[in-house]
């Protein structure tokens, strides 16, 4: 259980991640809130008395999302000055954000109720990198199962086009081109045919609801202009095409889906990005067990794969890992990636780093 000191320090921890990802305004907001938050407001008391692990629970980003919503709606001129980058003096920023905490206490408090739904289409660049490795190994036909789908933006992976270090994937033209800055060797140039995409989330976001869509957009950092444009496009695509997104527990859903009949000559793939940390220890264990059992049943005609893009807390980086069955090869690290997909670094060969999945992964959301 955390204490007030730990909860307050989480603002500095999050600010460090924001600074590392070149987000100076969000960094400034995190540091200021860490200085000014106190017990004079219900929001402040909820943050300082937070019972869980504040970084893993992304408590700071929940609150920052609420402040960004104030800016986007024009509800507070002082907050907007800070979020537009017009005011950078720490003392001045502190004054305006402290006033906003008091004035908008009732509006900010509900933002602490659930984890940030920062569904980011750019992360699908890392996921597609992993899928290319599986496609090279097993063939093009892939059936995707995603956990932690949030609003379903990555369920649109077969509607986006990609340029991954010169390797082109997806429809051309497409409404959204995802072209991260590429480092290192490109991924395998293998054909990919996604024959089905389904997802689940414990609290899926209904993008047909304007308020829900606005809340999702508010979680995008104000510094990230490209991300803001991308999320608007992705939301429009979900509304146009629709997604197969269930509400439910990830472990229950994975166990059920893996027992369903599988079409021949396909690879059924479990994928996820920045979600593993939000699952319970029991849930993670159940998913591992279900995948191991399904892997033991896999054949050359009905294959199984696992692709993840998750943060490594120990090494402070996001990693793309891949495993496939039938195969004796363990989980492989195939790429590193920016938290929001701004860049991807392909790796020459599997690296002997700590095995995130098999260890249980104390991941931290570095969004």
The pLDDT tens digits for 44-57 are 999 999 999 999 89
Mean pLDDT of all residues in 162-178? 96
Q: What is the pLDDT of residues 292-333, one digit of tens each?
A: 999 999 999 999 999 999 998 777 789 999 999 998 788 999
Mean pLDDT of all residues in 96-102? 98
| C-alpha span between 91 and 35 (Å, rounded) | 10
| C-alpha span between 59 and 111 (Å, rounded) | 9
Residue 17, pLDDT > 90, answer no
pLDDT at 147: 98
Under the banding of pLDDT at 50, 70 and 90, the label for residue 350 is: low
Q: What is the DSSP secondary structure assignment for residue 44, as one 8-state letter?
A: H
pLDDT at 349: 60
Mean pLDDT of all residues in 135-163? 97
Residue 362, pLDDT > 50, answer no
Rounded to the nearest 10 degrees, how much is the dihedral formed by the CA atoms of 354, 358, 362, 367? 80
Q: What is the mean pLDDT of the chain?
A: 92
Residue 154, pLDDT > 70, answer yes
CB count in 10 Å sphere of residue 79: 26
Under the banding of pLDDT at 50, 70 and 90, the label for residue 283 is: very high
Question: 192: Cβ–Cβ under 8 A, 6 or more apart, which residues?
Answer: 128, 131, 132, 135, 140, 142, 169
Residue 363, pLDDT > 60, answer no
In 3D, which of 148, 62, 158 has the Cα closest to residue 109? Answer: 62
% of the chain residues with pLDDT over 90: 84
Cα 114–chain centre separation: 15
pLDDT at 1: 64
Q: What is the pLDDT of residues 334-344, one digit of tens each?
A: 999 998 898 99
> pTM above 0.85?
no
pLDDT at 118: 76
pLDDT at 360: 41
Bridge-partner residues for 197, per DSSP? Answer: 144
pLDDT at 80: 98
Contact between 353 and 312 under an 8 Å Cβ cutoff? The reply is yes
Mean pLDDT of all residues in 100-104? 98
Mean pLDDT of all residues in 104-114? 96
% of the chain residues with pLDDT over 70: 95
Q: What is the pLDDT of residues 41-90, one digit of tens each?
A: 999 999 999 999 999 899 999 999 999 999 999 999 999 999 999 999 99
C-alpha to C-alpha distances, 342 to 105, 126, 167, nearest whole angstrom: 34, 10, 16
């Amino acid at each position: 259980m955390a204490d007030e000191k730990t909860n307050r320090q989480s603002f500095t921890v999050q600010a460090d991640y924001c600074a590392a990802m070149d987000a100076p305004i969000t960094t400034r907001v995190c540091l200021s809130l860490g200085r000014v938050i106190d017990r004079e407001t219900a929001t402040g008391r909820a943050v300082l008395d937070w019972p869980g692990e504040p970084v893993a629970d992304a408590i700071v980003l929940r609150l920052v999302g609420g402040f960004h919503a104030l800016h986007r709606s024009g509800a507070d001129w002082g907050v907007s000055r800070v979020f537009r980058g017009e005011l950078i003096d720490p003392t001045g920023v502190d004054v305006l954000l402290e006033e906003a905490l008091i004035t908008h206490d009732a509006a900010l408090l509900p933002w602490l109720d659930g984890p940030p739904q920062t569904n980011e289409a750019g992360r699908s660049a890392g996921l597609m990198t992993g899928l290319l490795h599986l496609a090279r190994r097993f063939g093009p036909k892939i059936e995707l199962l995603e956990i932690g789908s949030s609003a379903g933006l990555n369920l649109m992976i077969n509607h986006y086009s990609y340029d991954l270090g010169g390797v082109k994937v997806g429809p051309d033209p497409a409404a959204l081109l995802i072209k991260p800055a590429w480092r290192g060797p490109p991924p395998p140039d293998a054909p990919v045919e996604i024959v089905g995409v389904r997802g689940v989330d414990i609290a899926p976001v209904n993008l047909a609801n304007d308020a829900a869509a606005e809340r999702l957009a508010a979680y995008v950092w104000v510094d990230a202009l490209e991300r803001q444009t991308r999320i608007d496009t992705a939301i429009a695509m979900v509304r146009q095409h629709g997604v197969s997104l269930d509400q439910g527990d990830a472990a229950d859903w994975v166990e059920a889906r893996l027992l369903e009949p599988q079409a021949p000559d396909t690879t059924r793939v479990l994928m996820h990005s920045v979600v593993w940390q939000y699952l319970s220890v029991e849930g993670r264990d159940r998913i591992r067990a279900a995948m191991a059992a399904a892997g033991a049943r896999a054949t050359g005609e009905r294959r199984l794969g696992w692709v993840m893009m998750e943060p490594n807390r120990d090494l402070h980086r996001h990693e793309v890992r891949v495993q496939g069955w039938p195969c004796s090869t363990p989980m492989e690290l195939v790429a590193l990636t920016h938290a929001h997909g701004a860049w991807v670094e392909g790796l020459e060969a599997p690296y002997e780093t700590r095995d995130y999945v098999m260890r249980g992964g104390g991941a931290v959301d570095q969004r």
